[in-house]
Amino acid sequence: MFELLHQKITETVSISDEDFEFCKTLFQPKKLRKKRFILGEGDVCKYTIFLEKGLLRSFKVDEKGAEHVLQFSLEGWWCADLYSFFTGEPSNYNIEALEDSELLLITKPSWDLLLERVPALERYFRILIQNNLIVTQRRLMGSFSETAEEKYNNLIHAFPDILQRVPQHMIASYIGISRETLSRIRGQMAIRR
Amino acid sequence: MAVKQTIAFIGAADELYTVLVKKLAQANYPLLFISNDGYRYQQLTDQIKSDIPNADIETTDCAKEACWEADIIALFDNTTLEKELIERISAVATQKIVICISTSDNHNLSSIQTKDLQSMLPNSKVIQVFHDISGLELLVSGADQEAIELVSEIFENAGFIITEKV
């Protein structure tokens, strides 16, 4: 426990052993079984989640009952509905484990305390949120300008083993296409290879 | 869709234990029973599931795994809380609510135990719940106000009446 978190933090900033020990006291370790939820639509997102092991998906269900995948999160990634986490407003989406997962959860008051006490982590989270903003903007632009095939290529570039870990209909939902279109794209790519 | 807290239980399956877990199962809280006597707890699970078919209950003999999975850990004072057990769950109980449950008769005994428990689990939020075995009334006390409110809400959802929050 905590090794991957330490590794990820020290890839970006330096942190003393003492500060990291303090950091550990503020995280809640949580095992989440496959198909269980850590956040439900309508609940306030009380935690920012660090994923030590497993796979999560964030998704929304529309009024017709169709699921729309917003994000997949892998080991070493952070996951939350930041809008709900920072504002205390109910969340618009769900976070579900696609595999048995091990999480480290931190609440907003603990997060505030951590950033106040450990400046290195304030820097770490600033960089993290900055990178998240860049990725979000890039994805937003991509949703207007990229073809479905480009979106698929970007996804498998970012998550090389995603095809082995996630059902195809969820990948199609993430890209914003039908399962049939995804099959056609994969078929065309296979022929070209 | 509200996600309900998973609660792990450590204690002997006596009358108080049975009353509490049945009501929480009825209110759809996922429950984890920790026991070395799997047969007895499996019987209780089967009995609850026959009354409440969609009850979400599992029995395990590994306290650490169950407490790791749980959002809230409930300890009954009808069992001896061995130091070794508390040390085993300590790392996975960080920032979690740990409820020490006893009958009103054991009020003083439980207060002492709760102090010990809080010193052994310094990064957990230890809450005491006293239950009047003859009724559905509970008294909830502790140092963390948010934890008191959450524990009270859970037991109220399960049909208990919170008579006092201290």
Q: What is the CATH number of the domain that holds B73?
A: 3.40.50.720
Residues 24-53 of B with CB under 8 A from A: none
**pLDDT tops 90 at residue A178:** no
- Per-residue buried b or exposed e for B115-133, using 16+ beta carbons within 10 Å of the residue's own CB: eebbebbeebbbbbbbbee
Please indicate, yes or no, if residue B1 is contained in any of the structural domains. Answer: no
The pLDDT tens digits for B123-145 are 999 998 888 766 788 889 888 99
More confident: B111 or B49: B49
**pLDDT tops 90 at residue A42:** yes
**Which range of residues forms the domain containing residue B148?**
7-165
Q: How far apart are CA A21 and CA B160, in angstroms?
A: 39
Residues 84-113 of B with CB under 8 A from A: 91-92, 94-96
pLDDT of residue A160: 84
- The pLDDT confidence band at residue B94, using thresholds 50, 70 and 90, is very high
* B123 CB within 8 Å of a chain A CB: yes
- The pLDDT confidence band at residue B104, using thresholds 50, 70 and 90, is low
Mean pLDDT of all residues in chain B? 86
Q: How far apart are CA B143 and CA A93, in angstroms?
A: 33
pLDDT of residue A147: 87
**pLDDT tops 80 at residue B26:** yes
Residue B33's DSSP bridge partners are B9, B59
Q: How many Cα neighbours within 13 Å face the side chain of A80?
A: 24
Domain ranges in chain A are 3-145, 146-193
Residue of B nearest to A47 (CA): B95
Which of the four CATH numbers 2.60.120.10, 3.30.930.10, 3.40.50.460, 3.30.200.20 does domain A3-145 have? Answer: 2.60.120.10
Looking at chain A, the number of H-run helices and the number of E-run strands are 9, 8
Q: How far apart are CA B11 and CA A13, in angstroms?
A: 44
Min CA distance, B67 vs chain A (Å)? 9
- The pLDDT confidence band at residue B81, using thresholds 50, 70 and 90, is low
Q: How far apart are CA B142 and CA A102, in angstroms?
A: 29
Please indicate, yes or no, if residue B2 is contained in any of the structural domains. Answer: no
Q: Which residue has the tokens 């006293």?
A: B130
Q: How far apart are CA B79 and CA B61, in angstroms?
A: 15
Mean pLDDT of all residues in chain A? 92
pLDDT of residue B112: 52
Q: Are B165 and B129 in contact (CB under 8 A)?
A: no
**pLDDT tops 80 at residue B39:** no
pLDDT of residue A31: 97
Min CA distance, B96 vs chain A (Å)? 7
Q: How far apart are CA B114 and CA B118, in angstroms?
A: 6
**pLDDT tops 80 at residue A152:** yes
More confident: A94 or B14: A94
Lowest mean pLDDT among A124-133, A150-159, B58-67, B142-151: A150-159
Q: Which residues of B touch A28 (CB under 8 A)?
A: 94-96
Q: Which of A27, A43, A110 comes nearest B2 by C-beta? A: A43
Q: List, in order, residues 6 or more apart from A159 with CB less than 8 Å away.
A: A72, A74
**pLDDT tops 80 at residue B114:** no
Strands (E), A20-179: 28-32, 37-39, 47-53, 56-61, 67-73, 78-79, 94-97, 101-107
**pLDDT tops 80 at residue B105:** no
Residue A34 to residues A55, A114, B46, B69, B163: CA-CA distances in angstroms? Answer: 9, 30, 23, 12, 38
Q: How far apart are CA A111 and CA A117, in angstroms?
A: 10
pLDDT of residue B78: 61
**pLDDT tops 60 at residue B111:** no
Number of domains in chain B: 1
